[in-house]
Amino acid sequence: MPEVYIVNTAHFLPNSSISNDEMEEFLGLIGEEASKSKRIVLRSNGIKNRFYAINKNGTATHTNAEMSALSIRKLVGNNSDKLNEIDLISCGTSTPDQFLPSHGVMVHGWLPETKNAEVTSPSGACCSGMHAFKYAFMSLKLNDSKIAVCSGSERLSRLLQAEQFEIEVKKKKELEKNQYLAFEKDFLRWMLSDGAGSFLMSTKKNNSGISLKIDWIEAYSFANEVDVCMYLAGDKEDNGEFKSYMDYSPQEIQDHSVLSMKQDVKLLSENIIRLGFTKLEGAIKNKGIDVNDITYFLPHMSSYFFEDKIANMLKELDMHIPKERWFTNLESKGNVGAGSIYLMVDELFNSGKLKVGDKILLAVPESSRFSYAFSMLTVC
């Protein structure tokens, strides 16, 4: 089988960066009151800037598919001939613009210069971008494609706006209950960001400049062991059962903000680090890798709250990686879910820091029902 390389990377971030103080100007006030949890969450997550595909009026400026396509265009310098060489388009996201058609074909629709390429759309949350990456990797390995692109993207801001919760908050107020949004929903309003990243992949490395050889990609799910943690278009019943939006009436969907993203914070804290990194330990050992040979460690983190927890777990597993070898841009780019790992690789790829022989370890946890994806890249 041929080797597979990332030969270029790109990103698209909508509009200008937004500081912590500006967030509610874009997302709005729920119940006409400033959020009680905003300052606590932002202090913990360490994010200082993020990007939204909306303006202050709440009007969308870009779709998810459009942002993915704009990132892919940058991979080839918007060259129509090079776009037409692409055999496969593989796109992952948590937040497609619609349930049908698939996210991937909508991205393809924004790229009319391409041919009738194969398109795939892994679903899920943060790991969906890694699954898109792995599908492209396997297609090239099998000689089923010669040139492939993959992307990870999110458009979450529309789901975080105050108007999405107004009916629920109004109903609570009428019932003389706490009029503020439950922490499981309000928590995520201060965590998430919009944008897209992409990779151009080939069985031939670049003739000049660096390429990233993909050594391996592995993924694991713990859904057989652990309950749902982060969810959208469904809700948890009082008895713990997960109920689909299809089983709610239209009024119930509004009353309970069923089409908003939520997270069981307690379940997240108990499991997100403990589960996945034991699998990483096994992968490292099985492949005979010495962690001292890892030049850069790129962990996707939703919050800097988890930084020391990951470091302590790595030490516990005898896989200590000094912090000076960690690379993340969470503070400046925000948590872009499925796109975050692409944004990190893109920034590192274009930083001028990489040297031939450097080893890059990618780690992407996903809290939806606890999935994990890891990959090793070698600079060549």
User: pLDDT tens across 1-16, in order?
Assistant: 999 999 999 999 999 9
Mean pLDDT along residues 17-38: 88
Compute the distance between CA of residue 377 and CA of residue 344 in angstroms, rounded to an integer.
13
pLDDT at 256: 83
Compute the distance between CA of residue 146 and CA of residue 123 in angstroms, rounded to an integer.
24
Q: In what order do the strands lie in the sheet with 5-12?
A: 118-120, 88-93, 147-154, 195-202, 5-12, 212-221, 371-379, 359-366, 296-299
Beta strands 147-154 and 88-93: pairing type?
A: parallel
Q: Which of 106-110, 238-242, 337-341, 355-359 has the lowest mean pLDDT?
A: 238-242
Does the structure show a pLDDT above 90 at 67? yes
Does the structure show a pLDDT above 70 at 183? no
Does the structure show a pLDDT above 70 at 167? no
88: part of which helix (H) or strand (E)?
Answer: strand 88-93
- pLDDT, tens digit, for every residue of 117-126? 999 999 999 9
Q: What is the DSSP string of 7-37?
A: EEEEEE--SS-EEGGGHHHHH--BTTB--SS
Compute the distance between CA of residue 232 and CA of residue 239 in angstroms, rounded to an integer.
18
Q: Which of 113-122, 256-265, 343-352 has the lowest mean pLDDT?
A: 256-265
Compute the distance between CA of residue 258 and CA of residue 313 in angstroms, rounded to an integer.
35
Compute the distance between CA of residue 335 and CA of residue 328 in angstroms, rounded to an integer.
11
Nearest of 137, 97, 145 to residue 117 by alpha carbon: 145
Beta-carbon contacts of 83 under 8 Å, excluding residues fewer than 6 positions away, are 72, 73, 76, 111, 113, 114
The tokens for 121 are: 């759309």
Mean pLDDT along residues 234-262: 91
**pLDDT, the chain, mean:** 93
pLDDT at 174: 54
75 exposure class (CB count in 10 Å sphere: 0-12, 13-18, 19+): buried
pLDDT at 55: 96
> Which percentage of the chain shows pLDDT scores above 90?
84
Does the structure show a pLDDT above 90 at 82? yes
Compute the distance between CA of residue 168 and CA of residue 235 in angstroms, rounded to an integer.
14
The tokens for 109 are: 């629709």
Mean pLDDT along residues 242-271: 91
- Residue 188 banded pLDDT, cuts 50, 70, 90: confident
Mean pLDDT along residues 103-131: 97
Q: Are 183 and 163 in contact (CB under 8 A)?
A: no
Q: Are 214 and 137 in contact (CB under 8 A)?
A: yes
pLDDT at 194: 98
Handedness of CA 237, 335, 54, 348 (dihedral sign): negative
pLDDT at 181: 57
- pLDDT, tens digit, for every residue of 264-310? 888 998 999 999 999 999 999 999 999 999 999 999 999 999 999 99
pLDDT at 27: 95
Does the structure show a pLDDT above 60 at 229? yes
Q: Which of 97-106, 164-173, 227-236, 296-305 has the lowest mean pLDDT?
A: 164-173
pLDDT at 172: 55
- Which has the higher per-residue pLDDT, 97 or 172? 97
pLDDT at 239: 87
The number of angstroms, rounded, from the C-alpha of 355 to the middle of its chain's C-alpha atoms is: 27
200: part of which helix (H) or strand (E)?
Answer: strand 195-202
Q: Coil, strand, or helix at residue 366?
A: strand
- Residue 179 banded pLDDT, cuts 50, 70, 90: very low
Q: Are 277 and 310 in contact (CB under 8 A)?
A: yes
Beta-carbon contacts of 192 under 8 Å, excluding residues fewer than 6 positions away, are 50, 154, 156, 157, 160, 261, 334, 335, 336, 337
* Domains of the chain, first to last: 5-210 (3.40.47.10), 214-222+263-379 (3.40.47.10)
Q: Which of 212-226, 251-265, 317-331, 344-358 has the lowest mean pLDDT?
A: 251-265
Compute the distance between CA of residue 194 and CA of residue 335 in angstroms, rounded to an integer.
8
Compute the distance between CA of residue 258 and CA of residue 256 in angstroms, rounded to an integer.
5
Q: Coil, strand, or helix at residue 260?
A: coil
